[in-house]
């Protein structure tokens, strides 16, 4: 026979609201309202540090030329296949701003840098066709030049045929059918590159 006094208390008794309520003051005993300003200062300092350092290390892309999302600046030279932040060619800045292809930013002419892939480097051969760009015998997806933009306005026309990327230049490409890139203006000076980027968190 079991002694009723030796039985464990039911859960409702062990975790009654009265007992839980009695423990709450003990948990809060170490907290003081005087600590709130200190925590607030630390939070503001952290946010200020993030705002100060983020422009130097991170980029947010909201244009469809490359996947949307967050990118990190890396200190490595740009090469074939690199994603770069690059200022627009000087001769296209006013045109791009007027059309809305380029936003306002820190580049010459108060233009925003473009985010593009380096498709070809000096010495590479590019074949521009009506179907798109051919490099090393492979047709690059979504690279066909258009005659008009999404609003029906005429786009710059680049000569079709073989292009050799000259020294000090690169060929830019955005993996989107409407990307404004070298398919319309040809090779650009490599010294326009501001940064090389790698994705941190982007859309597929």
Residue 193 DSSP SS3: strand
Query: How would residue 6 be classed by pLDDT, with cut points 50, 70 and 90?
Result: low
* Pair 113, 101: CB distance under 8 Å: no
| Number of domains into which the chain is organized | 1
pLDDT, one tens digit per residue, over 142-200 is 999 999 999 999 999 999 999 999 999 999 999 999 999 999 999 999 999 999 999 99
Query: CA 81, CA 197: separation in Å to the nearest integer?
Result: 11
Q: Does the pLDDT value for residue 23 go beyond 50?
A: yes
- Check which CATH number belongs to the domain holding 112 and give it: 2.10.109.10
| pLDDT tens-digit map of 163-179 | 999 999 999 999 999 99
> Is 84 part of any domain?
yes
Q: Does residue 9 belong to any structural domain of this protein? A: no
Q: Is residue 105 assigned to a domain? A: yes
User: Residue 188 is encoded by which pair of tokens?
Assistant: 């650009």
DSSP per-residue codes, 117-149: EEEE-TT-EEEE-SS-EEETTEEPTT-PPPSB-
Asked whether the beta carbons of 145 and 155 are under 8 A apart, the reply is yes
**173: which 2 tokens?**
């490409």
Query: Which strands form 161-164's sheet, in the order they lie side by side?
Result: 138-139, 133-135, 125-128, 161-164
Contact between residue 124 and residue 135 where contact means Cβ atoms under 8 Å apart: yes
Task: For residue 9, give both structure tokens.
Answer: 């208390």
> Is 113 inside any structural domain?
yes
- Residue 13 clears pLDDT 60, i.e. is over it: no
Domain that holds residue 86: 50-202
Yes or no: say if 65 and 115 are a contact pair by the CB < 8 Å rule.
Answer: yes
Q: Which of the two residues, 112 and 23, has the higher pLDDT score?
A: 112
**Domain assignment of residue 197, yes or no:** yes
pLDDT band at 64 (very low <50, low <70, confident <90, very high): confident
In contact, 86 and 194? CB cutoff 8 Å: yes
Give the model's confidence band at 32: pLDDT under 50 very low, under 70 low, under 90 confident, else very high.
Answer: low
30 inside domain: no
Assign 127 a pLDDT band (cuts: 50, 70, 90).
Answer: very high
Strands (E), 48-93: 58-61, 69-74, 83-86
Mean of pLDDT over the chain: 84
pLDDT at residue 16 is higher than 70: no
The predicted model gives 10-28 an average pLDDT of 52
Q: What H or E segment, with its residue span, contains residue 184?
A: helix 182-185
Residue 105 phi, psi (nearest 5)? -170, -160
Q: Is 17 among the domain residues?
A: no
Q: For residue 108, is it within any domain?
A: yes
Q: What is residue 43's predicted lDDT score, i.e. its pLDDT?
A: 67
Contact 145, 161 (CB under 8 A): no
Q: Is 74 left (phi over 0), alpha (psi -120 to 50) or beta?
A: beta
pLDDT in tens, 66-116: 999 999 999 999 999 999 999 999 999 999 999 999 999 999 999 999 999
Residue 26 has pLDDT above 50, yes or no: yes
What pLDDT score was predicted for residue 72? Answer: 94
Element (H, E) at 188: strand 188-189
Confidence of residue 34 (pLDDT cuts 50, 70, 90): low
Q: Which residue has the higher pLDDT, 41 or 139?
A: 139
């Amino acid at each position: 026979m079991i002694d009723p006094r030796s039985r464990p208390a039911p859960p409702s008794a062990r975790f009654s609201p009265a007992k839980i309520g009695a423990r709450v003051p003990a948990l809060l005993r170490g907290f003081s309202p005087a600590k709130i300003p200190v925590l607030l200062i630390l939070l503001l300092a952290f946010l200020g540090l993030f705002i100060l350092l983020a422009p130097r290390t991170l980029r947010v892309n909201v244009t469809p030329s490359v996947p949307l999302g967050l990118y990190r600046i890396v200190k490595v030279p740009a090469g074939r296949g690199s994603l770069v932040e690059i200022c627009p060619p000087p001769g296209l800045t006013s045109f791009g701003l007027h059309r809305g292809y380029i936003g306002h930013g820190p580049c010459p002419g108060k233009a925003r840098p473009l985010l593009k892939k380096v498709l070809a480097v000096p010495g590479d051969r590019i074949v521009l066709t009506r179907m798109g760009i051919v490099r090393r015998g492979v047709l690059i997806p979504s690279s066909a030049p258009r005659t008009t933009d999404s609003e029906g306005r005429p786009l710059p026309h680049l000569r079709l045929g073989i292009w050799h990327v000259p020294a000090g230049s690169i060929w830019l490409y955005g993996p989107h059918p409407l990307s404004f890139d070298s398919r319309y203006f040809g090779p650009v000076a490599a010294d326009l590159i501001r940064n090389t980027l790698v994705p941190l968190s982007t859309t597929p």
